[in-house]
Structure 1
């Protein structure tokens, strides 16, 4: 894939458009844009994203007669990826990049709460409007009503959940792009780089403070910020497990088990790995095991 993307501009454009339009495979188009931005600069990444956004907009116009929606949706998805790919290319530091991503997540959540004073009402009205505009059968409408009831329970935290998932997708796209880049230009380099991934003590301290405030106040916005923190520190927890498996020459099945649990028990496992990542920021388990 990486070799095809880097073969030329037209190949990269074709790859991005095809995977952007395929269900559940949009992450590959995200990673392709990140790879181009990492290797050829943010200008080339921006050009690729704009052309891809126009293609997505044309598709949404054909399907829903709405050009602007598709264009804006694609831009909102790809522009942050270009920004953080540029930060990573300039700093060569996952710590700086992920700290910046966490910082942006916090800002976006706070701004959303300022713009939308009552998030619960906003999200419910949005879902209700979508359901009313959609052409669904009577049976499906009953299912959607059940969905709406469940949706109502998480609406107070939905802004944080959406932002956290977006941050997660950005980080995954960057990791995929960096891995592809290493495969082409520095074979084996990504594994060593990923196993050393850390977010840093300042972010860990803020996360612990959020845990305390959330426990005491139960304030929705604090819980949302904590969710964003979990999404980022999850990667340090995963990197630590990879490092320990490598240091102790353990079987790769340990990693398979970790990812399987992350899929099956996604929320619980993500919280546990993020907690391990936060603790590692202070304990530095990798150095401890190296010394032993």
Structure 2
């Protein structure tokens, strides 16, 4: 995909063409978001807005026809790109993604409330079959469980968009490193690690959110996304150090597609433990290429 990145960086017209074309095509909105992120990371917000403004047209058209993902992912990716360009810290980007995810959730709840409630009712009817212990709960516990369905479902949908925005930003950052500083993106990903304090905040959001309010239940899936990304980064770092074989990465991404419900929580647990222990060690972070932007 490097030739595409080179085409994007040839000029504003080429970049706008990619952003508009990818956003207009079904299921390729993430590519348009990544192209916009590349322009923003390299040239700044001013130049990026001139390009992304054209991409907003097809994104708004998709919104009009009931498809919100193109617009939300485009704007969310750009917001995260601003954070990455200003701080060059993936830790802050991961934390900022939770705020972006909350905005996604609020937007979905406000604009698409009826479809989400209809889906929640269907899930409510299936709960006794999926969770055998539901019928043994008291009336109050069952009512609380049912009241959590809508916010949790909203959070799950928002977390998918949150993860999509992070992946689009990662693609844009990889393009930037490939063009201007080969190896820089790999170094950033291998070093990605959540310090104990941010990890504790995310863990508290996952565990305590539903107890603080029904609507805050959406924080559980949203706070898990940064931890899962940090867990995947841990495996990349261990493979780079030679402490794990490369087939572990292949197995990770294949199993994520097949056994998401099992592998995803494992990545979250790995990130939590790594935050406390630091498996990769501090010395490994003193070597390697410079920042992926190629400017420092």
TM-score, normalization: structure 1? 0.76
Equivalent residue, structure 1, for 2:91: 95
For this pair of structures, how many residues does the alignment match? Answer: 259
Kindly state the Cα deviation for residue 95 of structure 1 after the two structures are TM-superposed: 1.1
State which of 242, 254, 270 in structure 1 corresponds to 2:248. 254
Equivalent residue, structure 1, for 2:54: 51
CA gap of 1:207–1:77, structure 2 versus 1, over 3 A, is closer
Q: Is the 8 A contact 2:30 2:70 kept in 1?
A: no
* Structure 1 stretches of at least 4 aligned residues deviating more than 6 Å after TM superposition: 70-73, 110-113
Higher alpha-carbon deviation: 257-266 or 77-86: 77-86
CA gap of 1:288–1:90, structure 2 versus 1, over 3 A, is closer
Equivalent residue, structure 2, for 1:149: 122
Equivalent residue, structure 2, for 1:134: none
Equivalent residue, structure 2, for 1:83: 79
Q: Within 2, Cα distance between the matches of 1:279 and 1:107?
A: 29
Q: Within 1, Cα distance between the matches of 2:216 and 2:67?
A: 32
Equivalent residue, structure 2, for 1:142: none
Q: Within 2, Cα distance between the matches of 1:212 and 1:260?
A: 28
Equivalent residue, structure 1, for 2:226: 232
Structure 2 residue matching 1:248: 3-state secondary structure: coil
Q: Is the 8 A contact 2:9 2:15 kept in 1?
A: yes
- Tell me if 1:8 matches 2:11: yes
Q: Is the 8 A contact 2:30 2:73 kept in 1?
A: no
Structure 2 residue matching 1:286: 3-state secondary structure: coil
Is there any run of 5+ residues in structure 2 with no aligned partner, and where?
A: 127-148, 285-296
Counterpart mapping for 1:1-292 below 5 A: 1-57=4-60, 74-106=70-102, 109=105, 123-124=116-117, 149-150=122-123, 154-213=149-208, 217=211, 220-248=214-242, 250-287=244-281
Kindly state the Cα deviation for residue 219 of structure 1 after the two structures are TM-superposed: 6.3
For the aligned residue pairs, the C-alpha RMSD in angstroms reads: 3.3
Q: Within 2, Cα distance between the matches of 1:30 and 1:110?
A: 21
Kindly state the Cα deviation for residue 68 of structure 1 after the two structures are TM-superposed: 5.2
CA gap of 1:222–1:269, structure 2 versus 1, over 3 A, is farther
Q: Within 2, Cα distance between the matches of 1:7 and 1:148?
A: 50
CA gap of 1:250–1:79, structure 2 versus 1, over 3 A, is same
Q: Which has the higher contact order (CA 8 A, sep 6+)?
A: 2
Kindly state the Cα deviation for residue 171 of structure 1 after the two structures are TM-superposed: 0.8
